[in-house]
Structure formats: structure tokens, C-alpha cells
Amino acid sequence: MTVADETSQAQAPVCWCCGNQFEENDLVRLGSHPEVGVCFGCARFLHRRAVGQEDQRRTSLAGRIRSAISGVREWVIAHNWHRLPLVGLLLQRLDRHLP
Ligand SMILES: [Zn+2]
């Protein structure tokens, strides 16, 4: 394989957040900047951060509950319990279903 062949091969799109390669249909593109793509996992992470920052600005019961859950989640991760099979699975389910 020549250098020209290697450079002419299309590279898989890269997530602008985590840097991993994905298929195009596994990325979410930004509206005003379609060159920027974020994978679903990073999109969920960014959504969680946005909700957390919004909760800090406006205190509410739902925001306090989300903050408590987030605190427990961070504590579990800090202690590496998320690597345990059952706990890791539960955290992944929480990530999918919590706002
Ligand atoms: Zn990503």
C-alpha cells in the first residue's frame, strides 16, 4: 500500500468530545456547526452536565433529587465500584433513564 492509498482512504468520523471513531449514524451533529459530531455517550454526558448546571442556577425539589443521585453516582465511581458487574450495570441503566 502506498502513501497515496493510505491518505485517500476515508477515515471514520471522530467524536469531538472523547476522540473515538464512530460510524456517521452514531454521531449527533451540532446545528450551526455540522462539522462537529458527538457520540451518543458523550451527548448523554453533556446533557447531564447541562441539567446539573441548570439545577445549580434554579433550585427545585427535582434538582435536589438529581443532585443527590449525581452525588451518589460520583461517590460510587470514586470508589471504583462502577467496575463491579452488578453496580456498573445499574449505573448504566440509571444513565439511560435519568434526566
Ligand atoms: Zn464521544
Count the neighbouring beta carbons within 10 Å of the beta carbon of residue 15: 20
For 37, list phi and psi in degrees, rounded to 5. -120, 140
Tell me the whole-structure pTM to 2 decimals: 0.64
- Rounded to the nearest angstrom, the distance between the alpha carbon of 60 and the centre of ligand 1 is 30
HSE toward the beta carbon, residue 3, CA cutoff 13 A: 0
pLDDT digits (tens), the chain, 99 positions: 455 555 556 789 999 999 999 999 999 999 999 999 999 999 988 998 898 888 888 888 888 888 888 888 888 889 988 888 888 888 878 777 766
Residue 30 is predicted with a pLDDT of 95
- Rounded to the nearest angstrom, the distance between the alpha carbon of 19 and the centre of ligand 1 is 6
C-alpha cell at 98: 435519568
- Rounded to the nearest angstrom, the distance between the alpha carbon of 15 and the centre of ligand 1 is 5
